[in-house]
């Protein structure tokens, strides 16, 4: 029993250590994260044409009336004039999944090469479901209000508040962390890729990755989510565990799986620069030998300056 408890304590320690990175700067009480673009991406919103009712006039410009004297009107589809950049070139909004993903890649990769600063508004970590724990540990945590409450409280403490990064720190913090790129996604990596315009004429792109099955060897740039998100890699956890004598004998190897995750970016179409990005990563840490499965979600919001 003692070994089981010790195993889970070790698991918790490593899970929290790797879930939370950066400086100690907790999210202030009451901080919430909402989907500001939910309505834009609602079913039917992306393709619904805009129409206006106009009065019909004849060749002389006179208003046309029906036999009963009513003014004749018609519905007219409103077409926007094409956008052009500073060089006068027409800006075309991508349409197919392949085009949208390619545009997403170009935009986010430009953050690491062109941004002067990246402000992370928050990095919120929470449970993404009910954890699976050994019965004895689950019983102990019930005395503390239950496993969900205990883990949720610990994760809230490890969530991060506002921080601003410049220079090399941008590469280290902005997805994919420590890499020179921010996305290597292809159309085959995503469940969906959508693009709409916001009220300011910016492009808003939302990409949802396919799920990644459990693996103990996945690296950055492999699978789906590891190509575009700040994922916790199993190899990093296992290397750390290997530095503690006897730890792996107790908890075994760590493996990770990444359910479908969502990245939403706002792009200034005139420059192609990302001005805001939100990453909603789903990830699960598994210690099969210890009988532990803990599902997490990490929500990061960035504001980029050039």
Please report the pLDDT score of residue 28 as a whole number: 45
65 vs 187, more confident:
187
pLDDT, tens only, 184-214: 999 999 999 999 999 898 999 999 999 999 9
Please report the pLDDT score of residue 214 as a whole number: 97
- Judge whether 275 lies within some domain: yes
**Structure token digits, residue 290:** 């210890």
Domains identified in the chain, total number: 1
126 vs 221, more confident:
221
278 vs 86, more confident:
278
Task: Please state the rounded mean pLDDT for residues 116-127.
Answer: 93
- Judge whether 229 lies within some domain: yes
- Judge whether 240 lies within some domain: yes
| Bridge partners, 295 (sequence order) | 284
pLDDT above 80: residue 134: no
The mean pLDDT value of the chain amounts to: 83
Share of the chain above pLDDT 90, in %: 47
240 vs 196, more confident:
196
Please report the pLDDT score of residue 5 as a whole number: 47
- Judge whether 216 lies within some domain: yes
Task: Please state the rounded mean pLDDT for residues 83-90.
Answer: 72
Domain extent for 267: 93-129+161-305
Please report the pLDDT score of residue 136 as a whole number: 66
- Whole-angstrom distance, CA of residue 215 vs CA of residue 286: 9
pLDDT tier, 53 (very low <50, low <70, confident <90, very high otherwise): confident
pLDDT, tens only, 272-300: 999 999 999 999 999 898 888 989 999 99
Count the neighbouring beta carbons within 10 Å of the beta carbon of residue 241.
Answer: 21
Please report the pLDDT score of residue 142 as a whole number: 73
Distances (CA, A) of 121 to 30, 124, 210, 278, 298: 14, 10, 26, 10, 13
- Judge whether 134 lies within some domain: no
Please report the pLDDT score of residue 145 as a whole number: 75
pLDDT above 50: residue 164: yes
- Judge whether 88 lies within some domain: no
pLDDT, tens only, 246-280: 777 777 888 999 999 999 999 999 999 999 999 99
- Judge whether 198 lies within some domain: yes
- Judge whether 292 lies within some domain: yes
């Amino acid at each position: 029993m003692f070994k089981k408890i010790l195993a889970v304590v070790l698991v918790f320690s490593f899970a929290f250590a790797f879930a939370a990175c950066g400086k100690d700067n907790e999210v202030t009480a009451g901080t919430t994260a909402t989907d500001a673009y939910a309505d834009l991406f609602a079913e039917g919103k992306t393709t619904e044409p805009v129409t206006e009712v106009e009065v019909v006039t004849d060749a002389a410009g006179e208003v046309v009336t029906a036999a009963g004297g009513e003014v004749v009107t018609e519905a007219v589809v409103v077409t926007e004039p094409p956008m052009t950049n500073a060089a006068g070139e027409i800006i075309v909004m991508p349409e197919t999944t392949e085009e949208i993903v390619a545009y997403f890649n170009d935009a986010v990769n430009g953050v690491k090469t062109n941004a002067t600063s990246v402000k992370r508004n928050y990095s919120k970590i929470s449970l993404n479901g009910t954890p699976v724990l050994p019965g004895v540990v689950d019983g102990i945590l019930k005395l503390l209000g239950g496993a969900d409450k205990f883990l949720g409280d610990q994760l809230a403490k490890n969530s991060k508040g506002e921080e601003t990064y410049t220079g090399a720190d941008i590469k280290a913090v902005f997805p994919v962390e420590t890499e020179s790129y921010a996305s290597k996604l292809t159309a085959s990596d995503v469940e969906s890729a959508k693009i709409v315009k916001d009220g300011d004429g910016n492009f808003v792109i939302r990409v949802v990755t396919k799920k990644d099955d459990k693996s103990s060897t996945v690296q950055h740039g492999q699978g789906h989510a590891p190509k575009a998100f700040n994922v916790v890699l199993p190899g990093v956890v296992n290397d750390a565990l290997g530095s503690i004598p006897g730890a792996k004998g107790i908890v075994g190897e760590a493996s990770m799986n990444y359910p479908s995750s969502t990245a939403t970016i706002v792009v200034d179409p005139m420059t192609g620069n990302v001005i805001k990005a939100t990453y909603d990563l789903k990830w699960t840490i598994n210690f099969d030998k210890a009988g532990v499965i803990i599902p997490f979600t990490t929500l990061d919001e960035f504001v980029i300056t050039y």
